[in-house]
Structure 1
């Protein structure tokens, strides 16, 4: 009884089969009874027709005068020949004979019921039937009337055959016994099959239920393992997709939680260092520990540098927070990426002056039209160019290329030593910095900000890296902004 749906389905099947069996039994009994009466009617009609044809061969005068040895003998054994009650009547319902060896007069009440209607119809030239129920015999009866014609074809009498429909109840009883026996065997087989089919039907439902239970318990790696091309199969497929999505969401949630913890740890570390340095320097100055003018100036210079770093860190955090907020709207206008690029190069030349780095620009386009935020695109490109300057060797080159096929493509390549393969998956993460002398003053937020700006401009970033040769950032601006 644990699998209630199996028993419910079995009960539904069995109930349907029983109702079907009762309906079929009723129809069978009705049709069997009708068929039996029809067969008896045909047989009775054949007897009456033969009797009327025999009597029609005798002239009407001979019948009325009861003459002729053949006729008398025939009437004497008429009941035995017909195997039924026989009356021969004229148009006025006068009984000519009752089927014995003498002519007797019977009253009207001795005739079968509906005899008057039958005789009228027969005298119009038809063979007529009448069905009734005998209270004496307690059984259905049939009466058939056929015309008796003379040599001229005139009807002068009617043969009435009256007979009970013998054997109907017995035949029906035997039929019912056979029917019940057959239906009983069929029901037993059907019940066993319905139970088997019910278990087969509910097996995938049981698997779906177990899967749902595991999902509620937080196990999102579970699968239903149900493969069917029906509604249950569709439900199982959707549940597997749900489990997969929940698993991906769970992994993403864990990843975001880890990023949150890392973010808090990183920002705490990034803030702690400049704050500690500034506080230590102020305490030393305030307590009078440092009195020499050169040392005082050095401490002031150090506090100023840390303050700038702290200001840059807070600014980068605010920029990243704004860019990641979907409600933050950029100032989108029709601009030229070439103008943005020229502006960036003018600003970056002062940064590259100490290393004597040369910019090599390959741009054959005068008007690189683009819908975007001028300031944010300038910030994005300047972040990449600043990193390229930072990691380029002395007297190196930075190659900037603008091209266009289906989409506008901007690439920036340096001649540095490249990025370690272990660091590649994390270069766009917040606060992630490669361990190098060039990157000691960085906040670890630049590339994360550049990525967010690219996303907001429907651009994708490709990183082409080769150890010892250099690193190239490729921006692909898609038209469907």
Structure 2
């Protein structure tokens, strides 16, 4: 079970090798058999021609053979030669007369006798008497076993044909050579398969080792160790998979850190919001109890308590509204009223409202407008809310008597709005989390903040297709640049 891929690779490789060996064996057997047959045919033909040459060159060897039927006289050399052939291969050759009869030795060495050829050998003999070498593989029944038969003419030096020689060889001799060659091939293939299986096992190990490493890394990742690495580096699909797994672990590590940070921010927010909600409620309740119990009865003091309760209720309302706004904006089903509006008018309205926020600190809001036609598609109230959040933050983090610069300009393909303050700036560590929920800069200037304002502004910008760029350096102030699409 633990090495199924490795065993499967070995099995596939072994099956491939066996199929290949079977294919090679069949092809080899066919080609080698045909080659052996051709070689034996050539050898048999050469033997037949040598016998024929020896017979026709014997002194006075074939005069009687070629002369006619019956007991005829022949040369002693011819007789001795036939007797020698009978001793070597009594059943593997025939001497054929011009009358298509088999010539054999008589009882005496100087006599010959004739007997009719079997029907199957007549066509072969005719071809030889016509001056052509001929072959047949169908005369095995005449010789008692499957064989190859060749017939060659007995031609004198001056070209006269005196008869023919038929020579036969058993096919089992040819098949024996083929069988030996096939056994050698099978042995070689068997050795090759064994050696290849060993090599395949090593290669399969190299293939599965990266998978094993990735499995161990995946187990560590699933156990929560997002710093685990596969330690696999190779330029192929497995390497790409390992790289993707390492990248996933890195992303999970970052997500885990972000989740932990978000959870901490959520806890801080709940603690802060609980405190912020408790404070105005406590103030309002204490003031009401003091008035109700008659502790405060003077009209001036009662009016003062009423004013304090109003301020606290406004703050409480603002906090609740921020929570509701953020919840609505983060809901994709929440629709905003998109219509053609003038961004210059919205900006001027937001600046007028922002001046009331800036007046207690002596901060000046300066608006510069460059260009004409600032029409965009958007929700007037939401865009004004976004700008007020930005202006409120700019005023909040600006020192007393500072200036906040707002610049609105029309470009060829977009409208750009920038807000620059002279505050303490934003650190590089805080920059990636500036628009996250519950994120709150921990400083004296932001002690009353809820950590929801910039998150609300970002949600409004996203709903309008607005991009926000932030440029800031600690101690040098901050600048937020909004790029808005022009209304079609």
| Range class of TM-score, shorter chain | 0.7 to 0.9
Q: Which structure 2 residues correspond to residues 21-60 of structure 1 after superposition, within 5 A?
A: 21-25=21-25, 27-52=27-52
Check whether the contact 1:407–1:476 (CA below 8 A) recurs between aligned residues. yes
User: Does residue 1:476 correspond to 2:483, yes or no?
Assistant: yes
Which residue matches 1:106? 115
Cα drift, residue 115 of structure 1? 0.6
Query: Separation in 1 of the partners of 2:36 and 2:434?
Result: 96
1:450 is aligned to 2:453:
no
- CA deviation profile, 1:97-138 (whole Å, cap 9, x unmatched): 459642113354xx5x72123124435553211225757987
Structure 2: tracts of 5 or more residues without a match? none
> 2:78 pairs with 66, 74, 86, which one?
74
1:281–1:303 CA contact under 8 A, matched in 2 = yes
Correspondence 1:339 to 2:317:
no
1:303 aligns with 2:309: yes
Distance in 1, matches of 2:170 and 2:396, equals 121
Shift in alpha-carbon separation, 1:159–1:364, aligned structure 2, 3 A: same
C-alpha distance 56-334 of structure 1, shift in aligned 2 (>3 A):
farther
Moved more, 337-346 or 420-429: 420-429
Partner of 1:197: 203
Task: Output the CA distance in 2 between the equivalents of 1:390 and 1:23.
Answer: 86
**Partners of 1:408 and 1:332 in 2: CA distance:** 17
Residues 149 and 351 (structure 1), Cα distance of their counterparts in 2 relative to 1, 3 Å cut: closer
Change (3 A) 1:479 1:226: farther
Higher alpha-carbon deviation: 30-39 or 131-140: 131-140
Query: How far does residue 16 in structure 1 lie from its aligned partner after superposition?
Result: 3.9
| SS across alignment from 2:67 | helix
CA distance in 1, matches of 2:434, 2:24: 79
Tell me the alpha carbon deviations over residues 305-363 of structure 1, each in whole angstroms, 9 at most, x when there is no partner.
21111111112222222222222222223333222222223344455556665443332
CA distance in 1, matches of 2:350, 2:64: 141
Does the alignment pair 1:130 with 2:136?
Answer: yes
* Cα gap change, 1:315 to 1:124, in 2 (>3 Å): same
Task: Give the TM-score normalised by the residue count of structure 2.
Answer: 0.81
In the alignment, the residues of structure 1 paired with residue 139 and residue 273 of structure 2 have an alpha-carbon distance, to the nearest angstrom, of: 107
User: Does the 8 A contact of 2:48 with 2:165 survive in 1?
Assistant: yes
Q: CA deviation at 1:77?
A: 0.3
**Aligned pairs for 1:414-433 within 5 A:** 414-415=421-422, 417-419=423-425, 421=427, 425=431, 428=435, 429-430=437-438, 432=440
CA RMSD of aligned residues (A): 3.9
Deviation at 1:391, TM superposition (A): 5.1
**Partners in 2 of 1:169 and 1:427 — Cα distance?**
90
Deviates further, 53-62 or 354-363: 53-62
Structure 2 match to 1:182: 188
Q: Shift of residue 86 of structure 1?
A: 3.3
Q: Give secondary structure in 1 for the equivalent of 2:100.
A: coil
Deviation at 1:376, TM superposition (A): 1.6
Assess, with a 3 A threshold, how the Cα gap between structure 1 residues 394 and 42 changes in structure 2: closer, same or farther: closer
* Corresponding residue number in structure 1 for 2:5: 5
Pairing of 1:379-458 with structure 2 (within 5 A)? 379-390=385-396, 392=398, 396-405=402-411, 407-415=414-422, 417-419=423-425, 421=427, 425=431, 428=435, 429-430=437-438, 432=440, 434-436=442-444, 442-457=449-464, 458=466
Runs of at least 5 residues in structure 1 that lack an aligned partner in the other structure: none
Equivalent position of 1:63 in the other structure: 66
* Whole-angstrom CA distance in 1 between matches of 2:397 and 2:446: 8
Partners of 2:105 and 2:238 in 1: CA distance: 78
- Spell out the pairing of 1:17-416 with structure 2 (5 A cutoff): 17-25=17-25, 27-52=27-52, 63-64=66-67, 71-78=75-82, 80=84, 84=89, 85-90=92-97, 93-97=100-104, 101-108=110-117, 111=118, 114-132=120-138, 140-148=146-154, 157-164=163-170, 167-168=173-174, 171-172=177-178, 174-175=180-181, 178-179=184-185, 181-352=187-358, 357-390=363-396, 392=398, 396-405=402-411, 407-415=414-422
Contact 2:376 2:485 in 1 (8 A): no
1:316 aligns to what SS in structure 2? helix
What is the count of residue pairs matched by the alignment?
A: 475
Aligned mates of 1:157, 1:191 — CA distance in 2:
62
SS at match of 1:263: helix
Counterpart contact for 1:454–1:461, Cα < 8 Å: no
Inter-partner Cα distance in structure 2 for 1:12 and 1:131:
43
2:418–2:482 Cα contact (<8 Å) kept: yes
State the shift of 1:273 in Å.
1.1
Distance 2:356 2:114 in 1: 149
TM score, norm. by length of structure 1: 0.82
